[in-house]
A and B are shown apart, each in its own frame.
Chain A
Amino acid sequence: MLSFYLYLATAALLLGVGSLGLWRGPELLRRILALNVIGAGIFMLMVSLAYRPVLYGEPADSVLHALVLTGLVVAVSATAFALALLGRLLARPQ
């Protein structure tokens, strides 16, 4: 029970830490990393919710796990696209 709330709190704090990085920057690459940290916080929130049945001796919620698995792959492809745009921006003649 306690660890469930501990992971929920970590998820909320990861969202906060990521938002701080997104605001401060200053480099664009760090802002992309910050978006990934926010994503990790949201995934952790969902996986903690999926963990609840385990506390009552049942298997974890597979629907949420499947959603997060899809989310992980979409997140990495969005990151790759963002970094490709960033590479183009930096390669531009000043």
Chain B
Amino acid sequence: MGLLLFDVVLCALLLTLAGAAMLSRQLVHAVTLFIAFGVMMALAWARLQAPDLALAEAAIGAGLTGALCFTALARYAGDAGYPKPKLWLPLVFVAAVSALLLYSVFQIPAQPTTELSERVAEHLAVSGVSHPVTAVLLNFRAWDTLLELLVLLLALLGARQVPSQLPLHAGWSLSVSWSRLLSPMLLLLSAYLLWRGAAAPGGAFQAGALLASGLVILRLNQQLAWLSWQNFAVRTLVLAGLIAFVMAGLASLLLPGQLVWLSWPVALAGGIILLVETFATLAIALTLALLVVGEPEQEPADA
């Protein structure tokens, strides 16, 4: 009963926050409400027994997306106002479509189809890790993860084609000192999440997202001057996630008895997954951080 009450309150809160973000008059309110919506989504994932998603959403949905949207908001400062859009026509149409959608989701049976999860449980012993989500991501469906790293890289390369400078503000002294205090904790926590991912909720994505938010906090407080695409080491590490993955796939193809691309030999699977995850964590963290903070102002040539 108590849990159902929690569910009702959480769902009502999610819908209210999303609706208010869409309908609010001012854009700054919309962005703030959307960040609160991200935090509540993390709570919903935790409730739905998806701790991996809750960890990733708390760092990505609430942290990085918020920083991204506030950066975009700063560019709207000089923008002329828009006329107030009409509400009723879209509302009627969307309400009709939502009613149809609601009707169709209620046709979904509560009895699950367990074929896939049974096969995951069956093969978990030969995957090299004991946490099923990590096994699916880095072993059974490694293609997804490889292509996802490629998508991240493409997003970064695309965003670099359209640079737009934002003036950097000097950090507030309290936030500078707090960011220095917090950053070792964030580093430690993301390393723990990475290591823990083999056996419990955690892994490359969560660790990478957490590390990225730490990097973004420090960068916004005028530290980590090396964090830029101009830096060769940063470029190498951004590419290293993809390269380590492809090399691991090629190397395991050369081993005897391996016929399928991206399938690890049982004896080495745990080590290969940890290696690939470590590079993927660094690549995800640096790519996300570069996507959020972009390029710092170019130094004058004589400075």
The residue on B at minimum CB distance from A45 is B105
Minimum Cβ distance to chain B for residue A23 (Å): 4
Chain A residues within an 8 Å CB radius of B159 = 80-81, 84
B98 to chain A, nearest CB (A): 3
Q: How far is the CB of B28 from chain A (nearest CB, A)?
A: 10
Q: Which of B34, B45, B69, B105 contacts A12 (CB 8 A)?
A: B105
**Are B155 and A80 in contact, with the CB atoms below 8 A?**
yes
When chains A and B are docked, how far (Å) is the Cα of A10 from the Cα of B57?
18
Q: Which of A6, A18, A80 contacts B292 (CB 8 A)?
A: A80
Q: Are B68 and A79 in contact (CB under 8 A)?
A: yes
CB distance from A29 to the nearest CB of B (A): 5
- The contact of A27 among B53, B82, B148, B164, by CB within 8 Å, is B82
A-contact bits for B65-105, CB 8 A (1 contact / 0 none): 10011011101100100111111001101110110011001
Q: Are B148 and A70 in contact, CB atoms less than 8 angstroms apart?
A: yes
Q: How far is the CA of A10 from the CA of B15 in the complex (A)?
A: 7
B114 within 8 A of A: yes
Determine if B50 is an interface residue (Cβ-Cβ < 8 Å).
yes
Cβ of B282 within 8 Å of any chain A Cβ, yes or no, is: no
Which of B128-136, B175-183, B224-232, B248-256 binds A?
Answer: B128-136
Contact status B91-A50, CB under 8 Å: no
Q: Is B170's beta carbon under 8 Å from chain A?
A: no
Q: How far is the CB of A49 from chain B (nearest CB, A)?
A: 7
Instruction: Please measure, in the bound complex, the distance between the C-alpha atom of A8 and the C-alpha atom of B105, giving whole angstroms.
Output: 7
Which residues of chain B in 3-28 are interfacial with respect to chain A, using CB atoms and an 8 Å cutoff? 3-4, 7-8, 11, 14-15, 18-19, 21-23, 27
- Which size bracket describes the interface of B in this complex? 35 or more
User: Nearest CB to that of B96 among chain A residues?
Assistant: A16
Q: In the complex, how many angstroms separate the beta carbon of B205 from the nearest chain A beta carbon? A: 5
A50 to chain B, nearest CB (A): 7
Question: How many residues of chain A get a CB closer than 8 Å to chain B's CBs?
Answer: 76
CB <8 Å contact, A65 and B133:
yes
Determine whether B49 belongs to the interface, using a CB cutoff of 8 Å to chain A: yes
A62 touches B48 (CB 8 A): no
- A-B pairs with beta carbons under 8 Å apart, 16 shown: A3-B7, A6-B4, A7-B11, A13-B98, A16-B94, A16-B97, A24-B85, A26-B82, A30-B21, A37-B21, A58-B117, A63-B116, A63-B141, A68-B50, A69-B137, A81-B159
4 closest pairs, A vs B, by CB? A16-B98, A21-B22, A62-B132, A77-B155
Q: A3-B4, A21-B23, A68-B53 are in contact. List 19 more A-B contacts (CB 8 A).
A: A8-B105, A8-B106, A9-B105, A14-B15, A15-B101, A20-B94, A24-B87, A36-B34, A37-B21, A45-B105, A55-B110, A62-B135, A65-B133, A70-B148, A80-B159, A81-B155, A84-B158, A87-B164, A90-B76
Q: Give B contacts to A, CB under 8 Å.
A: 3-4, 7-8, 11, 14-15, 18-19, 21-23, 27, 30-31, 34, 37, 41, 44-45, 48-50, 52-53, 56-57, 60-61, 64-65, 68-69, 71-73, 75-76, 79, 82-87, 90-91, 93-95, 97-98, 101-102, 105-106, 108, 110-112, 114, 116-117, 120, 132-133, 135-137, 140-141, 144-145, 148, 151-152, 155-156, 158-159, 162-164, 166, 205, 209, 284, 287-288, 291-292, 294
